[in-house]
């Protein structure tokens, strides 16, 4: 008999990825379909939700074709990019292209929220600051700049929720994605009617909430024919990409931590209650696991900083290989001989939430080489991640180790820099499928294969390696970190004045 299997789908910005996992955690199949981002104006970032659907059809069909039978799939879970606004009319048709998480056109709307609601009430009601990335700022932008489109809005949702609508015909979302809208009471795990009232948002446009592992609907006959799936397959609520990535890495209980070093960077630390930073430098989000929350810090340029540096040092066609570039720094002393790098190439989110901040090399002297500058980039990203870890400790996140994922996790040299700078052992786990795997876990929990995401992780995941910090480097890294943390305050006013001119 073919084994039971669970399908996880992740609606990312650059691609839709799928994974099919057996009940005992074996990866049976994967699929991937790339996407593209439209930039209609500087700082804007949009995608057509219908393109997500076509990519989903391609990626799911590719994975299903690798199975003995599509009937092996017993449930489907969804993950997706956070914050991106999908606006639907009364006929459930998309009104305009989705405004994405990395779109920064809404600075004036953020100021409006602070003026209207106030930082204290915002902290009490939502537990998060008003940033350009959050969903409600995009809705307010529509109200001001596209009133004809805003008047047609009957439902708003997130990326993965649109795909579930296409699969099942049902409208819903769940707490982990709702946490990124700024219309959600993170402590209570429900929509904030007061926030809606203060901002003049009709609460009826918000989708009903279900749990991440709750069954939201089943695959329709029409969607089944497009996806090569059995009609009637259950589809669960799913989760935001960071929540699913944490779930797919076994990071669902307090005392654990996930560090992602991809294009951007993220730190996720689960908590048993909504632990809100009084200064809102760290995000408070509902986790995909029931009755669990997580703290999150975001570094806008992590792997992107190294990619920029690799391009900057390219000599015509002689672009250095990433591994060669990084490995050349392995024997260098911690602290890059006094050189410090701020990785704020496109502004920063944690802890400064400053769109005007920019990248900086500081402390250059005539003895510094390309290797020193590469090492400083690696350390700068590590210190940016450490900022989040340090802010989480007073909020109850005190891990004795962390799981590391993303492209940066594949570099032994960078893993060692991160472990030494953070003073934490860093583990890699397998299978390394990230957010799609977490979505598949939620699907398995939804149909009773496991009692919780934690149980699914204990059955499906294993530690593949561990990088321990070198105690001999602790003093040097602490000194370098102090240089790093002193640099932004010294430049903050200069950033603001330069970017305003």
- 115 assigned to active site: no
**Distance between CA atoms of residues 252 and 269, nearest Å:** 8
Radius of gyration (C-alpha) of the chain in whole angstroms: 22
Options 10, 241, 387, 420, the catalytic residue: 241
Concatenated DSSP letters for 233-283? Answer: -EEE--EEHHHHHHHTTT--STT--EEEESSSEEEEEEESS----TT--SE
**Distance between CA atoms of residues 284 and 211, nearest Å:** 17
CA dist 431 → 28, 99, 151, 334, 439 (Å) = 11, 32, 46, 32, 14
Sheet holding 462-467, edge to edge: 283-286, 293-299, 265-271, 258-261, 402-405, 426-430, 462-467
Concatenated DSSP letters for 393-438? Answer: GGGT---S-EEEESGGGG-HHHHHHHHHHHTS-EEEEES--HHHHH
Instruction: Give the count of beta carbons closer than 10 Å to the beta carbon of residue 412.
Output: 14
Phi and psi at residue 96, in whole multiples of 5°? -155, 165
Token couple for 156: 């708003």
Catalytic residue set: 241
């Amino acid at each position: 008999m073919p084994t039971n299997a669970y399908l996880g789908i992740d609606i990312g910005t650059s691609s839709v990825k799928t994974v099919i996992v057996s009940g005992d955690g074996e990866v049976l199949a994967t699929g991937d379909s790339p996407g593209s981002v439209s930039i209609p104006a500087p700082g804007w970032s949009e995608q057509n939700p219908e393109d997500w659907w076509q990519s989903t059809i391609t990626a799911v069909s590719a994975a299903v074709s690798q199975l003995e039978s599509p009937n092996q799939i017993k449930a489907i879970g969804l993950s997706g990019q956070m914050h991106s606004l999908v606006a639907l009319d009364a006929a459930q048709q998309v009104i305009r292209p989705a405004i994405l998480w990395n779109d920064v056109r809404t600075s004036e709307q953020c100021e409006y929220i602070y003026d209207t609601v106030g930082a204290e009430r915002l902290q009490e009601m939502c537990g998060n600051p008003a940033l350009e990335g959050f969903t409600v700022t995009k809705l307010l932008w529509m109200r001001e700049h596209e009133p004809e489109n805003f008047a047609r809005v009957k439902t708003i949702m997130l990326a993965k929720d649109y795909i579930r609508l296409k699969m099942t015909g049902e409208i819903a979302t769940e707490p982990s994605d709702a946490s990124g809208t700024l219309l959600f009471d993170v402590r209570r795990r429900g929509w904030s009617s007061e926030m809606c009232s203060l901002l003049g948002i009709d609460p009826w446009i918000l989708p009903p909430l279900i749990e991440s592992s709750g069954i939201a609907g089943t695959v329709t006959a029409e969607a089944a024919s497009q996806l090569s799936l059995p009609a009637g397959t259950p589809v669960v609520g799913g989760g935001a990409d960071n929540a699913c990535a944490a779930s797919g890495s076994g990071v669902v209980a307090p005392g654990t931590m996930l560090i992602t070093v991809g294009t951007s960077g993220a730190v996720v630390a689960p908590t048993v209650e909504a632990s809100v930073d009084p200064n809102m430098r760290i995000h408070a989000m509902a986790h995909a696991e029931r009755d669990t929350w997580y703290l999150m810090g975001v570094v806008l340029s992590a792997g992107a900083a190294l990619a920029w540096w690799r391009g900057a040092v390219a000599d015509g066609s002689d672009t250095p290989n990433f591994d060669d570039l990084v490995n050349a720094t392995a024997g260098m002393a911690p602290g890059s001989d006094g050189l410090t790098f701020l990785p704020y190439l496109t502004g920063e989110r944690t802890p400064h939430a400053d769109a005007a901040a920019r990248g900086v090399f500081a402390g250059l002297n005539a003895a510094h080489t390309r290797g020193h500058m590469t090492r400083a980039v690696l350390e700068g990203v590590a210190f940016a991640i450490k900022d989040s870890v340090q802010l989480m400790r007073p909020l109850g996140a005190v891990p004795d180790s962390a799981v590391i994922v993303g492209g940066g996790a594949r570099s032994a040299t960078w893993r060692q820099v991160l472990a030494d700078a953070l003073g934490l052992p860093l583990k890699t786990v397998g299978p390394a499928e990230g957010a799609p795997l977490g979505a598949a876990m939620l699907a398995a929990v939804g149909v009773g294969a496991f009692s919780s995401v934690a149980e699914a992780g204990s059955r499906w995941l294993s530690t593949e390696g561990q990088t321990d910090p070198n105690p001999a480097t602790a003093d040097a890294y602490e000194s370098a970190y102090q240089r790093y943390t002193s640099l932004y305050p010294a430049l903050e006013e200069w950033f603001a004045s330069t970017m305003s001119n």
